[in-house]
Amino acid sequence: MALFLQYIANALWFHEKDCVLKINKHGFGIIAIELLLLVISCFAISVFSVAATAACILFFVLFVFTVYFFRDPERRIPDGKGIIVSPADGRVVEIVQEREDQFCDKEMVRISIFLNIFNVHVNRMPVAGSVRFIRRVQGRFFHAASHKASLDNEQTMVGIETGEGVKILVKQIAGFIARRIVCYAKINDGFSIGQRFGIIKFGSRTDIFVPVHTRLNVVVGDKVHGGTTILGTYEQL
């Protein structure tokens, strides 16, 4: 089934520049169910022509969209000292300096990235390092582009410490449509820069807290790509 879905994804027009396309495993179950419903509705056309045709079209659209949503492209990760890559695809909606008390315990710069339903929803590590902090918070489901989403929405926080001792926090935040956050990371796990650590399903937001002296390369309104866009460079300790 996985190979079949991979073939479907590559046969469709879904492609990304400088990457190899694949489907995230967390989409296989949903895609398989939709494919089954599509096949059943197509066979039913001969008996219930009008209703079955409408159902067939509906399930086909859902199937194509879901395959597109769960695409998980391989990315060419940049290399360089002190670089911080984007943890998600999307659009930068906020850049503010504020105190981060959960993990870093000091003033940080928060970069908030809004993911619409057409963005890749796989999250990637912004730096190489070890996971030192994980906290899952139950919350509400405000629109992910809203400032309130960062404070009140359901979220998973992942704190990473680099080899130089620099601390960075990433928040996976559920949005109005999203209802499930998947995080692969565990305490003391080591990750390379750009490595996958989770996925948020169907529209969401990702916040990243970086040191205040980070030289930023992005501004509000910029489109970013997880694992490839360099958000900034932090000072070596």
Cα–Cα distance measured from residue 134 to residue 183, given in angstroms and rounded to the nearest whole number: 10
Catalytic residue among 86, 112, 146, 204: 204
**Catalytic annotation on 130?**
no
Residue that has been written with the tokens 């620099």 in this structure: 166
**Hey, which residues does 206 pair with through a beta bridge?**
113, 172
Say how many C-beta atoms besides its own lie within 10 A of residue 2's C-beta: 12
In angstroms, how far is the first alpha carbon of the chain from the final one?
Answer: 48
Among the listed residues 132, 145, 143, the one whose alpha carbon sits nearest the alpha carbon of residue 102: 132
* Half-sphere exposure at residue 185, Cβ-oriented, CA atoms within 13 angstroms: 31
Enumerate the active-site residues: 204
